[in-house]
């Protein structure tokens, strides 16, 4: 049992997962399943972004769905209305979400806890309202059609589901790879120190505003990346893509998987997206389940699946005290694989 | 080394700290005592830069640090602990300490992205520092325990270690021995002496009189935000104003 | 000139509703330090309960209002007991997430029973009062009067009764209240009940000139948050004044600037104010 468990923290498990993801389109029953997996991956990228600011840095950002929509709209409008091709527009979407994220961050991150959450809730709502009302720019409720997909090459055509799936997978792997590096770097540790408390972090000589702003901009850029990919995949977006409910969905994914952990966002997002898919009737009423689930999680399992698992494993390996386990334990201690939840 | 000139802090219309001047010498243990609400914690917050004084100056080694933000003050060499230190419960002791040396490093986002030599070197430096301070406070045997699993006294020592990892010149300890038993208190006192032996200046707030009287080189007494006395433990013990202040208030005299 | 007065009436109406919702929110925040994101869902449930009592059970408007207030009060107490009470010592991010969970749940349940459609709810007060060319629909007059009555009743309750006094004592100092032997659990439940009742009253008053639908709480709760930030979190007069400011800003802004953007005004105002004064408009000192 312990052996199996500790295997899951080894690099081999990572490669196994990548292989599984690579062959998934071959073993999937139909194209629709590939499509669902691709959209789960896209949401996972966004949830990784949320994890930076909310999981590692401890600031509940309720505008995350708004930044997702901002990325989607930037890509959508640049390609559909201004004739840009996908990749320049994609870069444009990243820059746009980073820039707006910076502006919002500079103002909002001076606010503490509740104020920050409420402020970002309002920012998210303003973004939603603008996509709905600013018709000259966003087409209002009609939404944006004819969004460009990336140019293909050879037989690869990104308007088809499977090639796009691989494209998304590549971005997801990049997103997780970078998050892994970040979370065990000094920078990631700095973010986590801020989560432990502003006063303590400052007494350690940490510049609060600079680090919080950096975390926030990173998180909005992740959201923008996910939004742009989403727009490229579905190629039709509307104001509802920026609905606050998407932010709440993402918080649920994050919490179920394990807030502040490296693999939590992936586990939570893919798990719940498939769960809701397999319980089709749940689609509309999923919140009847998600709502109480959120409550139960924060009361009884605030660390989510991955966080609880790692805590259990850490104690087990310490108790076992075996030389082999010793090595692993120091690896966890150095934060090599995973760690750190709220 | 730390010189306070006419320090005053008003909250609303009330003076939490009122015109306090004092000088703490290097390589000494300095204690601040006083009844509850005497302004001791506010005094610390002013020195560490968490609050800005209404008037007065704070001079560290000849440099006026009064206008600086607290992270800059920490970089100038003022380390501190809090009455309760919020550590990350689900990470190991060592993991909690590594960030303590962050202020002496420079790696940013770009270093993370390219995994620069500088980042690798600095991470090693921070890790070494964490081990070093853990060793200093006598806790290397719990290095890999989760914070959630260690004792109250060990937490106190981890908080010390975290402050020490910032390479301070002076450490401000806010009630370091609150909530630990007498033997453990003695252990913490020894640790403070050890800090001074290693060239640090210690400044602490404490209620435990026995400990203070046997430990401090110099004591400052605050009451209602004002300095009512300062001197060696013997001088303080015999000072009628201090006795008055302590008898006038209640439980602190007993503590 | 006439239009100007008309806008004043509209501002007062909106301000009254927002003020009532914000009052409940600020009470809970002041006493328990919980930003209750689910408060808007309580407001929405209040409207649906009144709708249910009136349309499905056929009772009178006033009875429906009382029934709805009772149901929502119980619901609010349940939220406190089952969710916020167990979380009282958790990190601050947890109660916010739990509140979001409650919000999602309540909306989904209402939507399951009544669907996502927009519904109309009528009240017996459909007439129009005219004063020298100034037109005031009866329902709007009722909202303004109702809000005044409720605010006075709340003040009397808080100032003149023992229970009210304990609530105020706890709002001023949690530890202090604990030391003098106030039953914190009872105060917490009471506060939630009052906040739920105010939300239900506000919803029932406002529903006849608005629409009833499951997402109706979203915008209202966000505006209520804007209001209590403006007025200082936890401040009762602040909630009323803030409610009026937002009400008037919307009535006049919607008329003179742009009606389709009127919902953004409040949020824009918040962004501007917090950018300049991070601690809110009337809050004294930093926290």
Which domains are delineated in chain B?
A: 1-77+169-180+199-255 (3.40.50.300), 86-167 (3.40.50.300)
Q: Taking CB atoms and an 8 Å limit, are C284 and B12 in contact across chains?
A: yes
Q: Is A97 left (phi over 0), alpha (psi -120 to 50) or beta?
A: alpha
- pLDDT for B248 equals 61
In sequence order, the 6+-apart residues with CB closer than 8 A to the CB of A57 are A191, A192, A194, A195, A211, A212, A215, A216
Percentage of the residues of chain B whose pLDDT score is greater than 70: 96
CA distances from residue B223 to B8, B36, B58, B82, B229 in whole angstroms, order as listed: 14, 9, 20, 21, 9
Number of cross-chain residue pairs from B and C with Cβ atoms under 8 Å apart: 3
A114 vs C: CB within 8 A: yes
> May I ask the CATH class of domain C2-122+133-276?
mainly alpha
CA-based nearest residue in chain A for residue C98 = A295
| Contact flag C97-A255 (C-beta cutoff 8 Å) | yes
Which residues of chain B lie closer than 8 angstroms to A341, CB-CB? Answer: 90
Cα(B160)–Cα(B166) distance, integer angstroms: 10
Which range among A332-336, B56-60, C17-21, C262-266 shows the weakest confidence by mean pLDDT? A332-336
Average pLDDT (C258-268) is 79
Q: For the residues A111-126, what does the mean pLDDT come to? A: 87
Choose the closest CB to C87 out of A248, A290, A299.
Answer: A299
Which residues 43-82 of chain A have a CB within 8 Å of chain C?
Answer: 54, 58, 60
**So what's the pLDDT on residue C257?**
78
Residue C137 β-bridge partners: C128
Can you tell me the mean pLDDT for C190-217?
Answer: 92
In this structure, of A225-239, A312-326, B62-76, the range with the lowest mean pLDDT score is A312-326
Task: Give yes or no for residue C133 having a pLDDT over 80.
Answer: no
Taking CA–CA distances from A303, the nearest residue in chain B reads B90
- Give me the mean pLDDT over the C270-281 stretch: 75
Please give the pLDDT value at position A321. 63
Picking from A174, A185, A205 by the largest number of B CB atoms within 10 A of its own CB, the best residue to mutate is A205
Q: Is the pLDDT of residue C43 over 60?
A: yes
pLDDT digits over A52-97, tens only?
999 999 999 999 999 999 999 999 999 999 999 999 999 999 999 9
**Testing the interface with A: which of C97, C227, C287 to mutate, by most A Cβ within 10 A?**
C97
Chains in touch with C (≥3 Cβ pairs < 8 A): A, B
Lowest mean pLDDT among A125-139, A186-200, B240-254, C85-99: B240-254
In this structure, are strands B201-205 and B29-33 parallel, antiparallel, or unpaired? parallel
Judge whether residue A325 has pLDDT over 80.
no
- What is residue C196's predicted lDDT score, i.e. its pLDDT? 96
When mean pLDDT is compared across A17-31, A283-297, C213-227, the lowest value belongs to: A283-297
Domains of chain A: 2-333 (1.10.3470)
The pLDDT assigned to B255 comes to 42
The whole-number average pLDDT for the span A124-142 is 89
Q: Report which of B22, B12, B33, B14 is spatially closest to residue B57, judged by C-alpha positions.
A: B22
Residues 6+ apart with CB under 8 A from C259: none
Mean per-residue pLDDT over chain C, rounded: 86
Q: How confident is the model at residue C67 (pLDDT cuts 50, 70, 90)?
A: very high
Portion of chain A with pLDDT greater than 90, in percent: 52
Does A10 contact chain C (CB < 8 Å)? no
Is the predicted pLDDT of residue C259 greater than 90, yes or no?
Answer: no
Over residues A144-158, mean pLDDT? 84
Judge: A333–B94 Cβ closer than 8 Å, yes or no: yes
- Say whether pLDDT at A323 is over 60: no
pLDDT, position B84: 82
pLDDT interval class at C280 (50, 70, 90): low
Closest approach of chain B CAs to the CA of A206, in angstroms? 6
- The answer to whether A110 faces chain C, any CB pair under 8 Å, is yes
pLDDT at residue C101 greater than cutoff 80: yes
Least confident of B124-128, B138-142, B177-181, C174-178: C174-178
The DSSP bridge pattern shows strands B29-33 and B218-223 to be parallel
Measured CA to CA, the distance from residue B52 to residue B38 in angstroms comes to 18
**pLDDT attached to residue A52:** 95
Identify the helix (H) or strand (E) that includes residue C137. Answer: strand C134-137
Q: In the complex, which subunits touch B with 3 or more CB pairs below 8 angstroms?
A: A, C
Decide the pairing of beta strands C128-131 and B226-231.
unpaired
Cβ-Cβ contacts under 8 Å, C87 against chain A:
298-299
pLDDT band at B14 (very low <50, low <70, confident <90, very high): confident
Instruction: Please determine, for residue B253, whether its predicted confidence score (pLDDT) is greater than 60.
Output: no
In this prediction, residues B154-169 reach a mean pLDDT of 93
What is the pLDDT averaged over residues A122-130? 90
Any idea which of A320-329, C15-24, C47-56, C64-73 has the lowest mean pLDDT?
A320-329
Checking if the pLDDT of C261 tops 80, the result is no
> With bands split at pLDDT 50, 70 and 90, how would you rate the model's confidence at C175?
low
pLDDT level of residue B246 (50, 70, 90 thresholds):
confident
In A, minimum Cα distance to B85 occurs at A200
Cβ neighbours for A324, distance < 8 A, ≥ 6 positions apart: none
Which chain C residue has its CA at the smallest distance from A111's CA?
Answer: C278
Which of B99, B145, B149 is facing A190, going by the closest CB pair?
Answer: B99
pLDDT band at residue A340 under the 50/70/90 scheme: very low
Q: How many CB pairs under 8 A join A and B?
A: 115
Residue C238 pLDDT grade (very low, low, confident, very high; cuts 50, 70, 90):
confident
Whether the predicted pLDDT of C86 surpasses 80: yes
Average the pLDDT over C217-239 and give the result: 86
- Cβ contacts of B12 on chain C, cutoff 8 Å: 284-285
Quote the pLDDT of residue B22: 92
Q: How far is A225 from chain C (nearest CA, A)?
A: 25
pLDDT for C121 beyond 50: yes
Nearest chain C Cα to B13, which residue?
Answer: C285
Are the C-beta atoms of B102 and A211 separated by less than 8 Å?
no
Band the pLDDT of B247: cuts 50, 70, 90: low
Q: A269 near A40, Cβ under 8 Å?
A: yes
- Answer with the residue of higher pLDDT: A330 or C106: C106
**Residues of chain B whose C-beta is under 8 A from some C-beta in C?**
11-12
Inform me whether the C-beta atom of residue A290 falls under 8 Å from chain C C-beta atoms.
yes
Q: Which of C29, C83, C94 to mutate to test the interface with A (most CBs of A within 10 A)?
A: C94
Question: CB-CB: which of B70, B74, B90 is closest to A340?
Answer: B90
pLDDT at residue C33, as a whole number: 84
Which residues of chain B lie closer than 8 angstroms to A190, CB-CB? 99, 102
């Amino acid at each position: 049992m312990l052996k199996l468990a500790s295997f899951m923290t080894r690099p081999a498990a990572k490669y196994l997962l990548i292989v599984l993801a690579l062959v998934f389109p071959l073993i999937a029953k139909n194209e629709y399943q590939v499509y669902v997996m691709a959209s789960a991956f896209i949401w996972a990228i966004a949830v990784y972004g949320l994890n930076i600011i909310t999981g590692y840095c401890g600031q509940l950002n309720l505008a995350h769905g708004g930044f997702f929509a901002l990325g989607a709209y930037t890509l959508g409008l640049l390609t559909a209305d201004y004739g840009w091709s996908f990749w320049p527009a994609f870069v444009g979407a990243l820059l746009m979400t980073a820039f707006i994220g910076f502006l919002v961050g500079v103002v909002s991150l001076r606010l503490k806890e509740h104020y920050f959450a409420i402020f970002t809730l309002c920012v998210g709502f303003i973004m939603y309202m603008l996509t709905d009302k600013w018709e000259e720019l966003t087409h209002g409720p009609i939404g944006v059609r004819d969004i460009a997909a990336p140019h293909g090459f050879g037989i690869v055509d990104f308007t088809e589901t499977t090639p796009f799936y691989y494209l998304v997978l590549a971005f997801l792997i990049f997103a997780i790879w970078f998050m892994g590096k970040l979370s065990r770097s000094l920078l990631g540790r700095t973010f986590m120190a801020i989560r432990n408390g502003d006063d303590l972090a400052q007494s350690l000589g940490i510049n609060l505003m600079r680090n919080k702003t950096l975390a926030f901009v990173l998180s909005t850029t992740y959201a923008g990346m996910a939004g742009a990919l989403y727009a490229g995949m579905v190629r039709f977006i509307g104001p509802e893509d920026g609905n606050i409910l998407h932010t709440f969905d993402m918080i649920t994914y994050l919490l179920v998987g394990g807030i502040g952990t490296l693999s939590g966002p992936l586990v939570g997002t893919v798990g719940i997206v498939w769960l809701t898919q397999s319980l089709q009737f749940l689609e509309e009423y999923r919140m009847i389940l998600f709502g109480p689930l959120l409550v139960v999680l924060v009361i009884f399992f605030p660390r989510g699946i991955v966080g609880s698992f790692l805590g259990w494993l850490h104690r087990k390996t310490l108790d076992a005290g075996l030389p082999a386990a010793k090595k692993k334990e120091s690896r966890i201690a150095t934060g090599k694989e995973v760690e750190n939840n709220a | 080394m730390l010189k306070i000139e006419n320090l005053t802090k008003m909250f609303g219309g009330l003076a939490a700290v009122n015109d306090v001047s004092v000088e703490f010498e290097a390589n000494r243990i300095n204690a601040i005592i006083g009844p509850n609400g005497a302004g001791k914690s506010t005094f610390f917050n002013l020195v560490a830069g968490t609050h800005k004084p209404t008037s007065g100056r704070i001079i560290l080694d000849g440099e006026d640090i009064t206008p600086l933000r607290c992270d800059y003050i920490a970089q100038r060499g003022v380390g501190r602990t809090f009455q309760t230190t919020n550590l990350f419960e689900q990470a190991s002791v060592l993991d909690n300490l590594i960030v303590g040396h962050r202020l002496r490093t420079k790696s940013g986002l770009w270093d993370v992205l390219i995994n620069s030599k500088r980042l690798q070197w600095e991470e090693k430096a921070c890790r070494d520092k964490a081990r070093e301070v853990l060793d200093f406070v006598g806790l290397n045997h719990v290095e890999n325990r989760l914070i959630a699993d260690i004792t109250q006294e060990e937490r106190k020592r981890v908080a010390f270690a975290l402050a020490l990892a910032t390479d301070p010149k002076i450490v401000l300890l806010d009630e370091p021995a609150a909530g630990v038993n007498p033997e453990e208190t003695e252990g913490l006192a020894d640790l403070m002496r050890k800090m001074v032996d290693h060239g640090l200046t210690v400044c602490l707030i404490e209620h435990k009189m026995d400990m203070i009287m046997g430990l401090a080189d110099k004591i400052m007494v605050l009451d209602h935000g004002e300095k009512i006395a300062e001197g060696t433990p013997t001088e303080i013990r015999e000072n009628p104003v201090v006795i008055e202040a302590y008898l006038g208030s209640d439980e602190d005299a007993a503590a | 000139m006439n239009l100007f007065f008309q806008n004043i009436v509209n501002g007062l109406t909106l301000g009254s509703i927002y003020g009532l919702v914000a009052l409940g929110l600020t009470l809970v925040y002041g006493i328990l330090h919980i930003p209750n994101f689910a408060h808007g869902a309580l407001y929405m449930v209040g409207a649906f309960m009144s709708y249910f009592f009136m349309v499905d059970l056929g009772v009178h408007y006033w009875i429906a209002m009382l029934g709805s207030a009772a149901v929502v009060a119980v619901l609010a107490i349940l939220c406190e007991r089952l969710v916020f009470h167990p979380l009282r010592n958790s990190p601050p991010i947890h109660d916010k997430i739990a509140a979001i969970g409650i919000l999602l749940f309540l909306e989904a349940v209402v939507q399951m029973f009544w669907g996502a459609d927009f519904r109309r709810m009528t009240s017996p007060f459909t007439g129009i009062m005219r004063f020298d060319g100034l037109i005031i629909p009866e329902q709007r007059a009722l909202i303004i009067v109702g809000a005044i009555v409720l605010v006075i009743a709340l003040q009397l309750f808080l100032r003149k009764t023992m229970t009210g006094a304990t609530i105020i004592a706890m709002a001023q100092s949690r530890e202090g209240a604990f030391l003098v032997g106030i039953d914190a659990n009872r105060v917490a439940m009471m506060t939630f009940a009052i906040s739920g009742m105010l939300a239900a009253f506000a919803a029932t008053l406002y529903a006849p000139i608005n629409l009833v639908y499951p997402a109706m709480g979203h915008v209202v709760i966000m505006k209520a948050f804007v209001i209590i930030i403006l007025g200082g979190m936890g401040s009762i007069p602040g909630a009323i004044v803030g409610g009026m400011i937002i009400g008037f800003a919307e009535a006049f802004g919607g008329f003179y600037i742009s009606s389709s953007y009127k919902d953004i005004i409040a949020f824009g105002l918040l962004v501007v104010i917090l950018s300049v004064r991070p601690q809110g408009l009337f809050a004294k000192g930093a926290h």
